């Protein structure tokens, strides 16, 4: 078939990394990406593999012909793939494209990178170092390689490392203010969210779930006694068992994201502990809450099978349900971004966003009770929804306090034009309870079409705005804030507020999800930034990703991962 006729293409990738093996061979999987006509690289319309090695100052050759074919689907000795640079190039291209496609499918629209251009550069052998990172100035994902115990180790071959870095790039495009210094939660959010997407992407691949289940129930057993499929077995046997294999080669690049998070037993006290103020450690709490929700969701899907045939469950179905639960939670996680505030995000905001976005697209949750599971498991880690609405669906965002006025707004341009949305905001500034003084800007207006698990379609328009107020330390009191002791009166301070406006298919405002700029909401942020030293840096410095990652690098012996 010609490429123009097929809409998608399946490509062979390593299912996790070379250390996850079955019968002594690395485990491969197939992922589906949008079909496109590729240039040598492979280079496509959103992702361009440029195999330049800055440590050796050379380019590695790429496959020159038959670019639309997957030559690795028939390889039986998968050990051969580890040393094949052309396979490395296909592996990164396919994983980055599939993460992008997943974001676009979940959000129901095209998703941009945060920099101006359409194409993200990906360098699979960028330098000789145990590191991998997203570089906004280079518009690139850079993957390093290093010497391991038994030959070179390539970070571009680790599915979760590639998905993690792709997620940083995508999240930065969707919520560009999340890299601002703000609160311990926001500093941790980029890392935690990237790990959640990476790990759920790995578990959404059936061969990985299959291999992990193998550790407890070898694949010769066609059915498993249902009382053995407990949350404890799935977490301690399956997830932690896989974590042991996964971290083995890549821990210098990656640490032990899965092991640290899956092994973190529930406690509502972590969030207040000193140790968990460090962004990377704090991110683990979010990942732990999501991984344990995944285990609980998996168990509840298995419960359904048990009703079909009491006593035993078919092994294949257990695998299928695990991959399906990961897939569903991953889609929910990505969708939550549109319902999260544009600035100063907290874990509680994210949970309310997660619940609300799901209610809108899947109102009926009585089959597997995903939302109850999330509420219960997140609460066991001390994460409560930011919204305090009660009732049948607690924790979802409340509708706007006052009905806005639509006179003068045009339905058509409200779906795409930032000026039109700004006019709406300006004319409704009192009804929306906006702070009138700061500089206000509409960042984006995005029409979306989401399809629920039951095929139900929801059309919405998401508009994001931010508010910025630049002032000096001495002005804080005038605005109702407390000036921290020892803060110089001349110190420049940036305050940020903002929100996400969610319009329904008739152009009516459904939700206004925001974090206010005014007192008292920002007092905690001012205190935190002053104490952590972020306010004393120049504004430019403070606004860079590096700030987060430098903190992470100082966080402890095993916390160094990405240097920026």
**Whether the Cβ atoms of residue 180 and residue 543 lie closer than 8 Å to each other:** yes
The Cα–Cα gap between 99 and 175 comes to: 17
**Whether the Cβ atoms of residue 351 and residue 374 lie closer than 8 Å to each other:** yes
State the binding string over 179-208 for Zn ion (x if CB under 5 A, else -): ---------------x--------------
Q: How big is the chain, counted in residues? A: 564
State the nearest-atom distance from the C-beta of 282 to Zn ion, in Å.
13
Which of 198/239 has CB closer to Zn ion? 198
Joined together, the tokens standing for residue 564 give 């920026």
Joined together, the tokens standing for residue 319 give 């695998």
State the nearest-atom distance from the C-beta of 168 to Zn ion, in Å.
5
The Cα–Cα gap between 47 and 33 comes to: 12
Which of 198/289 has CB closer to Zn ion? 198
Residue 445: phi, psi to the nearest 5?
Answer: -135, 120
State the nearest-atom distance from the C-beta of 164 to Zn ion, in Å.
6
Which of 194/205 has CB closer to Zn ion? 194
Residues of the chain by 3-state class (helix, strand, coil), percent to 5: 45, 20, 35
Smallest Cα–Cα separation from 99: which of 47, 151, 177? Answer: 47
State the nearest-atom distance from the C-beta of 514 to Zn ion, in Å.
27
Phi-psi map region of 455: left, alpha, beta (phi>0 left; psi -120 to 50 alpha): left
Q: How many residues bind Zn ion (CB under 5 A)?
A: 1
CA angle 247, 193, 510 (to 5 degrees): 160
Smallest Cα–Cα separation from 466: which of 495, 430, 441? Answer: 441
Which of 190/217 has CB closer to Zn ion? 190
The Cα–Cα gap between 358 and 339 comes to: 10
State the nearest-atom distance from the C-beta of 554 to Zn ion, in Å.
15
Q: Helices (H), strands (E): how many in the chain?
A: 16, 17
State the nearest-atom distance from the C-beta of 191 to Zn ion, in Å.
5
Which residues in 101-140 contact Zn ion (CB under 5 A)?
A: none
Smallest Cα–Cα separation from 113: which of 133, 136, 143? Answer: 136
Which of 276/511 has CB closer to Zn ion? 276
Cis-peptide into 278, omega within 30 deg: no
Joined together, the tokens standing for residue 345 give 């995000």
State the nearest-atom distance from the C-beta of 280 to Zn ion, in Å.
8
State the nearest-atom distance from the C-beta of 13 to Zn ion, in Å.
20
Which of 153/287 has CB closer to Zn ion? 287
Smallest Cα–Cα separation from 12: which of 110, 84, 62? Answer: 84
**Whether the Cβ atoms of residue 382 and residue 268 lie closer than 8 Å to each other:** yes
State the nearest-atom distance from the C-beta of 136 to Zn ion, in Å.
13
State the nearest-atom distance from the C-beta of 195 to Zn ion, in Å.
8
The Cα–Cα gap between 494 and 535 comes to: 9
State the nearest-atom distance from the C-beta of 194 to Zn ion, in Å.
5
The Cα–Cα gap between 453 and 330 comes to: 13
The Cα–Cα gap between 495 and 518 comes to: 9
Which of 26/247 has CB closer to Zn ion? 247
State the nearest-atom distance from the C-beta of 560 to Zn ion, in Å.
12
Work out whether the CA dihedral 250, 251, 255, 261 comes out positive or negative: positive
Which of 295/560 has CB closer to Zn ion? 560
Joined together, the tokens standing for residue 487 give 């803060």
Cα 327 to chain centroid, rounded: 13
Q: Where are the alpha helices (DSSP H) in 439-555?
A: 523-532, 539-542, 545-553
The Cα–Cα gap between 352 and 168 comes to: 22
Which of 194/355 has CB closer to Zn ion? 194
Which of 135/428 has CB closer to Zn ion? 135
Helix (H) or strand (E) holding 515: strand 509-515
Which of 246/535 has CB closer to Zn ion? 246
State the nearest-atom distance from the C-beta of 14 to Zn ion, in Å.
20
Which of 188/534 has CB closer to Zn ion? 188
Q: Which residues contact 144 (CB under 8 A, 6 or more apart)?
A: 125, 126, 127, 128, 129, 130, 131, 132, 155, 253
Which of 350/481 has CB closer to Zn ion? 350
**Which stretches of the chain bind Zn ion, using CB under 5 A?**
194
């Amino acid at each position: 078939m010609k490429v123009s006729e097929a809409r998608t293409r399946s490509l062979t990738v390593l299912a996790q990394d070379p250390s996850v093996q079955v019968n002594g061979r690395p485990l491969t999987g197939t992922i589906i990406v949008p079909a496109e006509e590729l240039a040598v690289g492979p280079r496509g319309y959103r992702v361009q593999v440029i195999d330049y090695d800055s440590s050796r100052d050379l380019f590695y050759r790429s496959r020159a012909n038959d670019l639309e074919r997957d030559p690795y689907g028939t390889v039986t000795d998968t050990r051969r793939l580890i040393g094949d640079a052309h396979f490395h190039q296909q592996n990164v291209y396919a994983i980055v494209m599939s993460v992008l496609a997943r974001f676009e499918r979940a959000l129901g629209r095209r998703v941009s990178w945060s920099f101006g251009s359409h194409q993200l550069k990906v360098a699979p052998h960028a330098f000789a170092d145990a590191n991998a990172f997203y570089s906004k100035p280079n518009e690139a994902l850079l993957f390093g390689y290093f010497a391991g115990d038994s030959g070179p180790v390539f970070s571009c071959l680790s599915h979760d490392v590639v998905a993690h870095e792709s997620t940083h790039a995508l999240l930065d495009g969707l919520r560009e203010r999340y890299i601002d210094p703000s609160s311990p939660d926001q500093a941790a959010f980029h890392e935690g969210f990237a790990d959640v997407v990476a790990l759920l992407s790995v578990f959404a691949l059936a061969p990985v779930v299959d291999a992990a289940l193998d550790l407890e129930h070898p694949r010769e057993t066609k059915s498993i006694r249902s009382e053995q499929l407990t949350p404890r077995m799935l977490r301690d046997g399956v997830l932690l068992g896989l974590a042991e294999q996964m971290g083995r080669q890549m821990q210098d690049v990656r640490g032990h994201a899965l092991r640290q998070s899956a092994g973190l037993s529930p406690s509502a006290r972590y969030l207040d502990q000193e140790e968990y103020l460090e962004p990377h450690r704090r991110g683990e709490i979010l990942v732990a809450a999501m991984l344990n929700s995944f285990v609980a969701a998996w168990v509840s899907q298995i419960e359904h099978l048990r009703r079909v045939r009491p006593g035993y469950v078919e092994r294949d179905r257990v695998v299928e349900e695990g991959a399906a639960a990961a897939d569903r939670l991953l889609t929910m996680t990505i969708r939550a971004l549109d319902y999260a505030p544009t600035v100063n995000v907290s874990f509680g905001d994210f949970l309310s966003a997660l619940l609300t976005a799901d209610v809108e697209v899947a109102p009926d949750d009585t089959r597997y009770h995903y939302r109850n599971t999330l509420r219960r498991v997140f609460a066991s880690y001390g994460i409560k929804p930011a919204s305090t609405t009660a009732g049948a669906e607690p924790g979802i965002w409340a509708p706007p306090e006052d009905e806005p006025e639509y006179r003068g707004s045009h339905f058509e341009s409200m779906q795409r034009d930032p000026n039109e949305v700004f006019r709406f905001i300006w004319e409704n500034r009192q009804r929306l309870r906006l702070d009138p003084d700061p500089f206000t800007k509409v960042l984006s207006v995005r029409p979306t079409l989401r399809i629920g698990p039951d095929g139900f379609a929801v059309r919405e328009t998401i508009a994001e705005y931010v508010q910025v107020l630049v002032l000096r330390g001495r002005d804080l009191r005038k605005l109702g804030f407390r000036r921290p002791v020892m803060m110089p009166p001349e110190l420049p301070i940036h305050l940020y507020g903002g929100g996400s406006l969610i319009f329904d298919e008739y152009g009516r405002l459904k939700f206004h999800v925001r974090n206010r700029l005014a007192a008292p909401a920002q007092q905690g942020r001012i205190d935190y930034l002053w104490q952590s030293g972020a306010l004393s840096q120049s504004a430019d410095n403070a606004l860079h990703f590096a700030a987060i990652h430098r903190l992470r690098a100082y966080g402890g012996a095993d916390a160094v991962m990405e240097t920026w």
